[in-house]
Every structure is written in structure tokens, then in C-alpha cells.
Amino acid sequence: MITNLIADARKIVIKIGSNTLADIDGKFNFSFLDEFAEQAAALIKKGKQIVVVSSGAQVAGLSAMDKWARKKDIHYRQALCAVGQVQLMKAWRRAFEPHSLHIAQILLTREDFNDANRTLNMRNTLFTLVDEGIVPIINENDTVSVEEIKIGDNDTLAARSAILWSADLLILLSDIDGLFDKNPKEFTNAALVEEVKDISLIEKNITIGAANSFGTGGIATKLDAAKLSLSYGIPAILTNGGKPRCIEALVSGAQKGTVFLG
């Protein structure tokens, strides 16, 4: 199923969660970026178009400003993301460079999606970049996104971006293999749900546990994002970005995940 979905999709949005971009001790996982860029480049060579939604500004910021690690004040957190966004893009550029691929940074807020003019501009920019063989890397603009105007999680941002760009497929990379009947981090006997045809129904039959330290949305926002994306006919896959060469493994059918089809 996953293999077929990817084979049939030309335009793919891939969202990479904070937990995938941070290693076990909370440091920025640079090797993931290199491995991801190599696999994305291989897909692009095969004629696929890729848009990346990348979290990780905060984790990247902490690598540069570890003295701010304990500062919880909102202005410091926004400042940390502003510092981290530069580190993040530097890392992405370095990762894609060996494959002769340029990247572009797009920072968005909820307001941008509510304004017809801005939406049109965003859409046109995305199309132009991708048509020119550039890999757009989207993130929320944390500097201007105070709580009230925040999209708040990159799962929703990824779904909105997929809709805006008329993508064929949305892939959410997290630190779990997919949706489970209960939190796999708490329960060793949690069972993976491989296919979801009715999200509202599955929501009633599973237990949603807490998100991880760097994660913002948790599994609930992934379900909401899948719902949003499906309402525009775009199927979604939730899978583990922490597995070795996860994109290749998905393409070959070696890696499992949850496919949202309805």
C-alpha cells in the first residue's frame, strides 16, 4: 500500500518532526539531514517533486545557545527559534549541496493561510521553486507567531502546505512507527494501526498519550492533519523518521507506517 501510494504520487510533502531532528540527548541530529537529503535527491531524480516541512529550529538553536536552555520566557523561546532557524537552514543547505540541489526557506504563519492574496503568492512561489528544481523548506515563523496567531504544530502546517501546493501525498516523519492503539512509549504491547479509513472512528478506539519533550503536537495533531489533508483528497502516511534510510525503506515496502485513506 505505502509503496503504491509513493509510486503514484508526483508531488510529495514530507514533514520532519522535532523528535526526528533531535538525537537521544537532545542535540541536533545532523546525520539525519544528510541521509534524508540523499534519499530525497534520489526521488527527485526519478521525477518526484518534494516540499519539506522542517521543525527543529528550537533544537538547532539550543546547539548554538545552550545557555538559554532553561529560559522558558516566550521572548527567549522566540529568540531561540530565530537563532536556530539560521542553524537549521545552514544544516539543510549543507545536506542538499552535494546533490547539487538548492534549497529555499519559507516561513509561514496562520494569518498567511487566511489571506487570499498571501495564499496566492505562497502558492506561486512554491510552484516556481519546485519547477526550478529547488527544494522548499517550510517552517512556522516563530518570531511573529505568538500563541494567539500560531498554527502551533508543523503537522497542521504540513497539511495546509500540501493543500496549498495541491500535493498528491503527505508524509509525516515522527519517532514512532505510526499510529498505535495506545502510546507505544508507555505500553510495550501497543499495536500498530496500518490502515485508517475512518479517522473519527479510530479516534474513539485508541488512547492518545503525551507528546515527547521536543514534540509540540503529539499524535492528536497528526490525526487532525491527516483529516485536513484527506478532506482535500490527499492521503497521508505517518511513519518513523528515526529508522535507517526511512524514505528508501518506505519506497521499497520494507518500512511500516500508518496510511490514512479516508
Enumerate binding residues for ligand ADP (CB under 6 A). Answer: 17-20, 174-176, 179-180, 182-185, 206-209, 211-212, 214-219
CB of 94 to ligand ADP, least distance (A): 22
Q: Nearer Cβ to ligand ADP, position 44 or 53? A: 53
What is the per-residue burial (b if ≥16 Cβ within 10 Å, else e) of 191-200?
eebeebeebe
Measured distance CA(57)–CA(208) in Å, rounded: 26
| Alpha carbon distances (Å) from 147 to 64, 74, 75 | 24, 9, 12
CB of 131 to ligand ADP, least distance (A): 29
CB of 190 to ligand ADP, least distance (A): 7
Q: Nearer Cβ to ligand ADP, position 18 or 229? A: 18
CB of 203 to ligand ADP, least distance (A): 10
Q: Nearer Cβ to ligand ADP, position 125 or 213? A: 213
Q: Find the residue with minimal CB distance to ligand ADP.
A: 215
CB–CB of 225/159 below 8 Å?
A: yes
Q: Nearer Cβ to ligand ADP, position 78 or 216? A: 216
Measured distance CA(15)–CA(12) in Å, rounded: 10
Residue showing cell 526526528: 20
CB of 117 to ligand ADP, least distance (A): 30
Measured distance CA(34)–CA(38) in Å, rounded: 6
CB of 204 to ligand ADP, least distance (A): 13
Measured distance CA(146)–CA(170) in Å, rounded: 26
Q: Nearer Cβ to ligand ADP, position 136 or 215? A: 215
Measured distance CA(36)–CA(139) in Å, rounded: 17
Q: Nearer Cβ to ligand ADP, position 22 or 234? A: 22
Q: Nearer Cβ to ligand ADP, position 193 or 261? A: 193
Contact partners, residue 175, CB within 8 Å, separation at least 6: 17, 19, 20, 212, 215, 240, 241, 242
Nearest to 207, CA basis, from 197, 193, 194, 226: 193
CB of 25 to ligand ADP, least distance (A): 16
